[in-house]
Structure 1
Amino acid sequence: MNVAVMFYAPDACAQDGQWGTRGWWVIGPGSTAHVLNTGNRYFCFYAESADGVWAGEFGPVHIYRDSFDSCLLIGSTASIGKVGMRRIDTRGNDIIVNLNR
């Protein structure tokens, strides 16, 4: 499974949509990965695997073939497309997102 995230980053992305974007984490079946520390209550993710896609209405976010670390409103000709992300409300807690079908 390949996972990308979007997270509130007003300092780093002040002029570029206030949200940071990062990808890709490759996470095997039954595995976990720590992908983000945030003080914000919300973050978003997009994931794809041979079994399907987990997308949503937030974004759109530019994605790239290789790893990336950018801001919501920054795109480049290297982008392979845009995706929508699912929003997660952490309610201020550490969470694990389970992507089983």
Structure 2
Amino acid sequence: MLKFISQYPQPLSVSIMWYTPNCPDGGDWTKKGWWNLAPGESKVVHAADLDDVNRYWCYFAQAADGAFWAGDIARMVPPEKFEWCEWTSSTDATQIGYRLQDVGDADDFTITLTP
């Protein structure tokens, strides 16, 4: 399982991306969002045994005050809840940068978002 814990003092939203070979709408990854976390809250965003899916996962988080946790894997995402193949987009989508996370051979992994 993949779990996020917010230790940030503002509400924040999280999106993830995971390996999905031959995703039906194109590409080899699925992106999904948004999970909203209040300060101190935790949420499981993927219940699978992580290393059975892939050792690499991606995430992006943004707080209400504009702070963000990002990387250089650019993909388009909408402002509303979604689950899309990596190259799917819409007219109201914006580009974010996913951060790559190596979970190794872990079945479960927790990412703590801190200031």
Q: Give the structure 1 partner of residue 4 of structure 2.
A: none
Mapping 1:44-83, distance limit 5 Å: 44-49=58-63, 50=65, 52-58=67-73, 60-79=74-93, 81-83=94-96
Q: How does the TM-score come out when normalised to structure 2?
A: 0.79
Q: TM-score, normalised by structure 1?
A: 0.89
Quote the offset at 1:51 in angstroms.
Answer: 5.7
Tell me whether 1:86 sits opposite 2:99 in the alignment.
Answer: yes
Q: Distance in 2 between matches of 1:92 and 1:27?
A: 27
Say how many residue pairs are matched: 98
Shift in Å, 1:14 = 5.4
For the aligned residues, what is the CA RMSD? 1.5
Structure 2 gaps of 5+ residues are 1-11
Structure with bigger RCO (C-alpha 8 Å, 6+ apart)? 2
Q: Structure 1, unaligned stretches of length 5 or more?
A: none
**Identical-residue share of aligned pairs (%):** 31
- Structure with greater strand share of residues: 2
Post-superposition, which runs of at least 4 consecutive aligned residues in structure 1 deviate over 3 A?
none
